[in-house]
Every structure is written in C-alpha cells, then in structure tokens.
Structure 1
Amino acid sequence: MPTLTKLFSMEEAAEHNTKDDCWVVIDGKVYDVTSYLDDHPGGDDVLLTATGKDAKEEFEDAGHSQDARDEMEKYFVGELDPSAATIPEPKQEKKDMDTIQKIKDLPLQYWAAPIAVVGISIVVGFLYLRKK
C-alpha cells in the first residue's frame, strides 16, 4: 500500500522558524531539521534563515554533496501543497527593499556634502603629490 505524503502550505512550514522548531523547504519538499541544527556544518543560522521560503537556490549554491542530499531524506516530513496559494515573499527581504528604496529617495542635498568632501580630498591629494 503506497504511503501518503503529508501536504503543507508554505505558511504552515514558515511557522516553524525557531531553533526549537525549524523546518526548511527545498524544491517543494518540507524537512524538519530541528534535530540537525547543531550538527549542520554551516551552522544553525544558515538553516534558520532558510525558513519561510523555498530555499532550493541557496541549497544548490552551497554545493551540497550527494551524502548531504541522502542525509536530508531522514528529515523529510512532507511536501508543499501545489493547490495552496503562492509562496509569500519573506519578510526580511521586504525590509531590505524598503531600506534600499529609502536610500534612493534621499534628496540630492544629503549626498552633496559627502561627495564634495571626497572630491576636495582627491584634488588636495593630487596637488600635494604634484609638489613632491
């Protein structure tokens, strides 16, 4: 008799985002890595930052070996429900984008003084070196 795979929404998986209860999603598969946090070679913070999104890209970029992929299967708890809503944007990235937008929106007057100081420093440096 085939085993039924439990389906989770990304919101459900994202709720497990602490050191005491950590799930990661990689390529649509959900893993409970809570017991592996202390043993992960990259440290627990790498896994904790991978919660709340499908971390396939980060997993692939890290260059995990086949042994790591095999080890991962021990922690498999289910899959993302394909009928669930789309994957939400992680909150941290939204904060980063807000910060970038705020910097872009700063008026030119706030940039003028630092740019002037750098420009004057370069000119003074050239003049000093020219006298030698």
Structure 2
Amino acid sequence: MPTLTKLYTMQEAAQHNTPQDCWVVIDGKVYDVGSYLDEHPGGDDVILATTGKDATDEFEDAGHSKSARELLETFFIGELDLSATVIPELEISSKKQADYTQKLKDLTKQYWAVSVAIAGVSVVGFLYLRKK
C-alpha cells in the first residue's frame, strides 16, 4: 500500500525560518533541516537565507556531494503543493511598488514647488533690478 505524502504550500514552508525550526524547499520537496543547522559545513546562515523560497538553485550551485544528497533525504517531510497559486514575492513587490509610486509623486510635487519658487524669486529680482 503506497504511503501518502504530505503537501505543503510555500507559505507554510516559509513560516519555518528560525534556527530552531527551519524548513527548505529543494526540487519540489520540503525538508525539515532545523536539527542539522549546527552541523552544516557552510554554516546555518546559508540555509536560513533560503527559507521561504525555492532553494534548488542555491543547493545545486553549492555542488553538494552524493552523500550530502543522501543525507538531505533523511530530512524529507513532504512535497511542495504546486497547485497553490499565491506567490508571496509578488504580493510583497506590488506593495513596494505602490510605496515607490507614492514617494515619486511626493518628490515630483516638492520639486515642482521648488522650481516655481526659484522662478518667482528670479522674476521679482529681475523686476526689482529693472526699476533701478
């Protein structure tokens, strides 16, 4: 009888991002590596930096050995639910974009006011000097 694999969303995996409770997603699989952080040759900060996103590229770029890949499988807890449609990075970037747009509008108003003030002072100065 086949065993059922637990499915996790990226949001669920991202919530486990501390040294005491750390999950990573590699090749669509979810791993609970919290107990391994102290033993990781590259340091715990390397792993903690990959929580909340797909860490496949980082894992592959590090050139892990066959034994490292076998060790990783011992931390397997489930698979990534690919049917989940919400991508947290998109939500974050759209909020940041709205903030940047508002800041740009505010700066535009400030620079417009400065330009008008300079023009006004120039006109007043020119008229004053012309009377003399």
Cα-to-partner distance string for 1:4-51 (whole Å, 9 max, x where unaligned):
100000000000000110000001100000000000000000010010
TM-score normalised per structure 2: 0.67
SS of match in other structure, 2:13: helix
Asked if 2 retains the 8 angstrom alpha-carbon contact of 1:53 and 1:88, the reply is: no
- The alignment's C-alpha RMSD in Å is 2.3
Bigger Rg, which one: 2
The one-letter code of the counterpart of 1:52 is G
1:33-86 deviation line (CA, Å, top 9, x unaligned): 000000000000001001000000000000001110000001000001121125
List alignment gaps of at least 5 residues for structure 1.
Answer: 106-132
Q: How does 1:1-132 map to 2 (within 5 A)?
A: 1-89=1-89
Distance 2:66 2:49 in 1: 22
In 1: Cα distance, 2:87 partner to 2:68 partner: 25
Asked whether the equivalents of residues 30 and 78 of structure 1 are also in contact (C-alpha less than 8 Å), the reply is: yes
Q: Mind listing any 5+ residue stretches in structure 2 that lack a counterpart?
A: 105-132
Equivalent pairs: percent with the same residue?
67
Q: Is the 8 A contact 1:33 1:75 kept in 2?
A: yes
After the TM superposition, which segments of 4 or more aligned residues of structure 1 sit over 6 Å from their partners?
none
